């Protein structure tokens, strides 16, 4: 289903498997906001040609920020064809930039200035500036059409730079203001330029094949100097070099190639310059090998290394096996044997009349400049750093206490407030489980129509998904550590009897226990259908005794949040043990486990089931369960809680197909395949996540609705396969990009066999691109109920 000609998923961002930085180069993954909106880019690193006033200075040019007068605005109106004005960002190190976002000045409705068009210039060293052009050679990028919407543009080819300038362009004089963001990732290869002989032209059956480096950003005469281009654009060529992934380009576009006729020595020499001295492990060269057209990977490579000023005397030589059998283009990996170098010069020897490369990547080890050999100095420095850290920590704690005290006072007056949790919380949440976190504070920030406007809504950066996560809790539960306003009771630990372990995470375990006399401890509105004196089965989530203070605080916060959730379709927090360690929360136990396992054990009613004698679940039962999930989610959304991880694995099944939503999934290794680990960042359930959650880090009720659609799909397929099981994680992310671009190339989950059109219609509505067009849980619940009648 994936190869449907023009409409197929494009997977041409390539990477050399295994290298440290390599993963970052895949399209879709290297799309992190680089810190204009998130604040990681400092004010002093944002500058401009001019400013209209102090309140529209460069530092106000941050996407989705409303500080100052709401944007960066240059001093004078932008004239046609004058490229005098720019907003400049210094990223402090080289980055691979794949996407840019722009926005105008809205300022709560007062502003109405924006850039309809702009150009981008970039630099790696702040002295040589290069104008960005797309693959067709066009420089102007379409910008905004109003003052508030964020417009994102893919950079094709991507940019490798430290400095980036946005230059507003106009066809008539106008006032222009801009807010911007850059998206990408750090450029770990460290390559700042390669110099090579210019690519040549081949004549194939009378047709020219242009093997020049068409996106090279240095000087090109007889050779290429001081630039980067196709060999570092993350795009691997196809097996057949006359074809390309890129639309509407000439044959040979993806490759830079040379013929042995022009090189009497028998080799092509390429010189690579790096940002600093590095400890190199490998080089990977993506080569074409269409030997029937006289193209082969190289037969030998000889590399010279320069660390300080001098070239090392003995080069490194490597001869790959010449392949006369397999036509496919491939990465050839060359071990660089931990040579230290800031420049590498390699001579690639022809194995055939032609040699063609599409990509070269480098992998290097630790930053050697940070290594100090003298061990005494090292110990001294470690001690000094430790002392400084302790002092800083003390100061921070003192300040934090004061600030916190003030905040508490303020917050008590309001009904709702934000809390910024730290990085730790979410990683804990992700690894151990249960918190149902809330979205933006409803009363304080919702726009008139009750829906946060797209431009006003948070664009949390992807790091923000694991890090500065904003959620709301009622002010009355703010007094976190006193425990007095937890809406559930303390349960005597001795009345719990351990039965078995249900799950385990980094910060704790979930046990199945028997609890005696539970009835006295819980609200009368909640009924166990068991006689008074019988012990009941409960699930007990326990924080490890050695968990640090952050984990403890987060555990307590989680208790606060969960204790407020009272709905027949949400797992209920029954009681807690927080007076002594280890901290525990006691929740209902659902005897049939999670919905995923439950359905996997069952079959639809029908012939096969009759023969194989497995237990069946009817369509009406499936719909009944889906209705309950919708009902629980309707309750959560009414409180403006965003679940973030709705899936069958997080819905628990009780007697008679009752369903309660929980969030225990991540604590189990069982489902690790459902989560995608972004290097050193978070684990994310990408197959359930909306496009805006993946690309922009935005989690809202509308993204929960998307996940509901996937959950519904899982339910109707009896969880027999993972969503998009035929796609790899990278392809799922690529597909997300298609949802964002919305050019009818996105792949939807197919209609399950059992699923009537009306239900599939609901799923498709949940996966609409525009969040406002997705149905509410209220509507979904109503439609499901009606279809049941």
CA gap 84, 152 in Å, rounded: 24
Q: Which two tokens stand for residue 25?
A: 């180069």
| The pairing of beta strand 316-318 with beta strand 300-306 | antiparallel
Minimum distance from CB of 331 to ligand NAG (Å)? 22
Smallest distance, Å, CB 511 to ligand NAG? Answer: 43
Q: Per the structure block, which two tokens stand in for 713?
A: 């799909």
Tokens matching residue 308? 């300080």
Q: Which is nearer to ligand NAG, 336 or 696 (CB)?
A: 336
Specify the residue, 18 or 368, whose C-beta has the smaller distance to ligand NAG.
368
Of 216 and 760, nearer to ligand NAG (C-beta) is: 216
Closest separation between CB of residue 291 and ligand NAG, Å?
Answer: 10
Check: CB of residue 625 under 8 Å from CB of residue 659.
yes
Q: Which of 213, 645, 663, 674 is catalytic?
A: 645
Based on CB atoms, which residue is closest to ligand NAG, 101 or 199? 199
Distance CA 570, CA 590 (A): 11
The tally of CA atoms less than 13 A away on the side-chain side of residue 232 is 27
Residue 401 in tokens: 């206490």
Q: 279 or 776, CB closer to ligand NAG?
A: 279
Q: Which is nearer to ligand NAG, 120 or 211 (CB)?
A: 211
**Bridge partners (DSSP) listed for residue 312:** none
DSSP per-residue string spanning 437-477: -B-S-HHHH--TTSS--TTTS----HHHHHSSEEEEEEGGG
Q: CA 26 to CA 421: how far, in whole Å?
A: 30
> What is the token pair recorded at 53?
């006033």
CA atoms lying within 13 Å on the CB side of residue 508: 28
Closer by beta carbon to ligand NAG, 248 or else 482: 248
CA 274/CA 336 separation, integer angstroms: 15
Please state the closest distance from residue 290 (CB atom) to ligand NAG, in A: 14
Least separation in angstroms between CB 199 and ligand NAG = 8
**Cβ-based nearer residue to ligand NAG, 210 or 245:** 210
Q: Which residue has the tokens 């303020």?
A: 410
Phi/psi of residue 378, each to 5°? -60, -45
Give the nearest distance from C-beta 268 to ligand NAG in angstroms: 13
Q: Considering beta carbons, is residue 93 or 338 the nearer one to ligand NAG?
A: 338
Determine the 3-state secondary structure of 298 from DSSP.
coil
CB of 261 to ligand NAG, least distance (A): 5
Least distance in angstroms from the C-beta of 224 to ligand NAG? 9
Residue 226, classed as helix, strand or coil, is strand
Give min distance, CB of 307 to ligand NAG, in A.
Answer: 9
In the complex, the smallest distance separating the C-beta of residue 193 from ligand NAG, rounded to whole angstroms, is 16
Nearest distance from C-beta of residue 137 to ligand NAG, angstroms: 8
- The answer to whether 562 touches 662, Cβ cutoff 8 Å, is no
| Rounded CA separation 58/75 (Å) | 11
Judged by the rule CB under 6 A, the positions of this chain that interact with ligand NAG are 210, 212, 214, 220, 250, 260-261, 279, 338, 340, 352-353, 365, 368
CB of residue 398 to ligand NAG, shortest distance in Å: 41
DSSP state of 236: P
Closest to 424 (Cα-Cα) out of 323, 506, 482: 506
> Is the Cβ of residue 373 or residue 409 nearer to ligand NAG in the bound state?
373
CA pair distance 720, 722, nearest whole angstrom: 7
Distance from first CA to last CA of the chain, Å, rounded?
36
Token pair recorded at residue 298: 């190289």
63 in helix, strand or coil? Answer: coil
What is the 8-class DSSP label of residue 749? P
- What does the DSSP 8-state code read for residue 147? S
Is omega for the bond preceding 187 within 30 degrees of 0, making it cis? no
SS3 percent helix, strand, coil of the chain, rounded to 5, is: 30, 30, 40
Tell whether omega for the bond before 766 is within 30 degrees of 0, i.e. cis. Answer: no
Tally of CB atoms within 10 A around 497: 11
Collect all residues with Cβ–Cβ distance below 8 Å to 140 and sequence separation of at least 6. Answer: 117, 118, 119, 169
| Rounded Cα gap, residues 183 and 696, in angstroms | 10
Within 8 A by CB and 6+ apart from 423, the residues are 466, 467, 468
What's the full length of the chain, in residues?
Answer: 789
DSSP state of 541: E
Comparison of 284 and 296: residue with beta carbon closer to ligand NAG: 296
598 phi and psi angles, rounded to 5 deg: -60, -50
Q: Least distance from C-beta 164 to ligand NAG, angstroms?
A: 22
645 has catalytic annotation = yes
Measured distance CA(505)–CA(665) in Å, rounded? 10
- Choose between 274 and 676: whose C-beta lies nearer to ligand NAG: 274
Distance CA 437, CA 765 (A): 24
Nearer to ligand NAG, 212 or 428 (CB): 212
Beta bridge partners of 169: 117
Catalytic residue numbers, as ranges: 645
């Amino acid at each position: 289903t994936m190869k449907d000609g023009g409409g197929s998923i494009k997977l041409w961002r390539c990477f050399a498997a295994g290298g440290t930085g390599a993963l970052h180069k895949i399209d879709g993954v290297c799309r992190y906001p680089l810190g204009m909106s998130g604040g990681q880019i400092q004010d002093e690193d944002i500058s401009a040609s001019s400013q209209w006033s102090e309140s529209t200075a460069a530092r106000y040019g941050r996407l989705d920020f409303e500080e100052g007068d709401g944007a960066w605005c240059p001093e004078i109106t932008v004239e046609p064809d004058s490229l005098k004005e720019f907003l400049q960002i210094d990223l402090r190190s080289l980055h691979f930039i794949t996407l840019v976002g722009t926005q105008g000045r809205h300022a709560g409705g007062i502003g109405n200035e924006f850039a309809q068009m702009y150009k981008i210039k970039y630099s790696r060293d702040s002295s040589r500036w290069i104008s960005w052009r797309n693959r067709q050679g066009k420089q102007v990028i379409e910008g905004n059409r109003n003052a508030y919407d964020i417009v994102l543009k893919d950079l094709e080819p991507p940019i490798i730079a430290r400095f980036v300038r946005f230059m507003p362009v106009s066809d008539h004089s106008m006032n222009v203001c801009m807010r911007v963001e850059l998206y990408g990732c750090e450029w770990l290869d460290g390559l700042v330029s390669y110099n090579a002989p210019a690519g040549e032209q081949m004549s194939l059956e009378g047709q020219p094949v242009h093997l020049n480096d068409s996106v090279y950003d240095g000087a090109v005469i007889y050779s290429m100097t001081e630039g980067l281009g196709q060999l570092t654009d993350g795009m691997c060529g196809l097996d057949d070099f006359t074809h390309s992934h890129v639309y509407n380009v000439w044959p040979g576009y993806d490759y830079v190639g040379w013929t042995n006729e022009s090189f009497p020595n028998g080799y092509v020499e390429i010189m690579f310059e790096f940002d600093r001295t590095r400890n190199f492990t490998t080089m990977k060269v993506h080569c074409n090998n269409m030997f029937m057209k006289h193209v082969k990977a190289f037969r030998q490579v000889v590399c010279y290394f320069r660390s300080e000023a001098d070239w090392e005397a003995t080069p490194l030589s490597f001869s790959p096996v010449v392949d006369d059998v397999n036509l496919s283009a491939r990465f050839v990996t060359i071990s660089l044997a931990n040579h230290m170098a800031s420049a590498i010069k390699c001579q690639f020897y022809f194995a055939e009349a032609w040699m063609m490369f599409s990509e070269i990547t480098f992998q290097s080890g630790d930053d050697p400049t940070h290594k100090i050999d003298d061990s005494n100095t090292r110990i001294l420095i470690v001690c000094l750093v430790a002392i400084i850290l302790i002092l800083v920590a003390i100061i921070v704690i003192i300040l934090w206490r004061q600030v916190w005290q003030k905040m508490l006072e303020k917050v008590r007056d309001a009904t709702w407030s934000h809390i910024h949790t730290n990085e730790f919380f979410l990683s804990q949440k992700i690894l151990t489980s249960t918190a149902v976190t809330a979205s933006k504070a409803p009363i304080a920030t919702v726009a008139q129509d009750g829906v946060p406007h797209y431009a006003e809504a948070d664009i949390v950066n992807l790091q923000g998904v694991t890090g500065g996560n904003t959620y709301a809790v009622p002010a009355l539960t703010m007094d976190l550590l006193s425990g007095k306003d937890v809406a559930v009771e303390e349960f005597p630990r001795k009345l719990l009897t351990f039965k078995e372990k249900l799950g385990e995470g980094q910060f704790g375990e979930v046990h199945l226990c028997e609890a005696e006399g539970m009835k006295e401890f819980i609200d009368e509105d909640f009924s166990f259908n068991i006689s008074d004196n019988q012990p009941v089965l409960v699930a007990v989530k326990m924080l490890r005794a050695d968990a640090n203070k952050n984990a403890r605080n987060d555990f307590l916060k989680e208790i606060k949040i969960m204790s407020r959730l009272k709905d027949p379709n949400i797992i209920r927090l029954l009681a807690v043990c927080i007076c002594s360690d280890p901290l525990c929360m006691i929740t209902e136990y659902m005897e049939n486990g999670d919905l995923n396992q439950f359905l996997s054990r069952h079959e639809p009613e029908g012939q096969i089931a009759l023969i194989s004698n497995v237990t069946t679940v009817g369509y009406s039962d499936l719909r009944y369960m889906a209705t309950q999930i919708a009902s629980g989610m309707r309750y959560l959304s009414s409180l403006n809680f965003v679940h973030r991880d709705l899936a069958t694995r997080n819905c628990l099944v009780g007697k008679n197909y009752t369903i309660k939503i929980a969030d225990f999934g991540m604590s189990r290794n069982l489902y690790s395949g459902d989560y995608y680990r972004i290097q050193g960042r978070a684990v994310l359930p990408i197959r359930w996540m909306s496009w805006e959650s993946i690309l922009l880090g935005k989690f809202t009720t509308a993204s929960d609705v998307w996940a509901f659609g996937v959950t519904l799909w899982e339910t109707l397929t009896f969880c027999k396969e993972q969503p998009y099981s035929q796609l790899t994680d990278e392809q799922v992310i690529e597909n997300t990009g298609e949802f964002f671009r919305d050019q009818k190339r996105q792949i939807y989950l197919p209609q399950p066999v059992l699923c009537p059109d009306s239900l599939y219609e609901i799923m498709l509505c949940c996966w609409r691109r525009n969040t406002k067009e997705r149905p509410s849980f209220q509507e979904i619940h109503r439609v499901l109920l009606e279809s049941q009648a």
